Structure 1
């Protein structure tokens, strides 16, 4: 598995709990993997300007045709606003028939959020097969 460096958002982490969202998308066909990765990278360019965004990691497991993210938010309202963004909605519509999406969200005070995401199943959160 590969992951990006931390992509910071405009919000600081602080001491308060944060909302963490883990998404995993398993593509039905490997041919769609390069474009799906580029599309995710493109969306990540919005991160520094998103209200409520603390930061983000993108990850990929090419051998399993799996890509995803671990995003960190000050509140659920910021996460919900991102999910409704026209660019995000367009991506979800474009890829909905090309794979299977799994998403898990939780509130956290952990210092090592990547490790916590691993404990929530970042490595096996999308079906294999």
Structure 2
């Protein structure tokens, strides 16, 4: 009697998303800038460390100038995590990226993974549409407009 191997199922990624965290800018139908980040850690412990750093930064979100809000997301099996953040304008996003606490996180994890990021402008902030577009990037349904950024270059 010959036994056949069990059929294999394709591995599908599962993105976990935290609840929306509001910033100090009130939600309104207005043009916004959306930023998506995707960090892939070299190890599971490193993935946990960067996710915790993201949670710490999230605590300050209600006081982050120019922020409408954000979602954190993670794909545990793939050692990936990141954010989808919504901003009043590009200047507010750049101010956050240059904040000392954000720079400290980037430097602390330099050389321990890769990161990619994309940003776009939206005429009106529609949470469902923003998340759908971000999810398409994160799941590979839509190609990223930029390549990988090595943290040692950030």
TM-score by length of 2: 0.77
| Partner in structure 1 of residue 53 of structure 2 | 39
Consecutive unaligned residues in structure 1, runs of 5 or more: none
Pick the aligned partner of 2:131 from 96, 108, 114.
114
For CA contacts below 8 A with separation 6 or more, give which structure has more relative contact order. 1
Question: Structure 1: which 4+ aligned runs deviate by more than 4 Å?
Answer: none
Pick the aligned partner of 2:100 from 86, 91, 94.
86
Query: SS where residue 101 of structure 2 aligns?
Result: helix
Pick the aligned partner of 1:5 from 19, 36, 52.
19
Q: For 1:21-40, list aligned pairs within 5 A.
A: 21-40=35-54
Q: Distance in 2 between matches of 1:115 and 1:12?
A: 21
CA deviation after TM superposition for structure 1 residue 35, in Å: 1.5
Q: For 1:53-72, list aligned pairs within 5 A.
A: 53-72=67-86
Aligned-CA RMSD value: 1.6
Which structure's CA Rg is the greater one?
Answer: 2
TM-score by length of 1: 0.91
Q: Number of residues paired by the alignment?
A: 126
CA deviation after TM superposition for structure 1 residue 122, in Å: 2.0
Query: SS where residue 51 of structure 1 aligns?
Result: coil
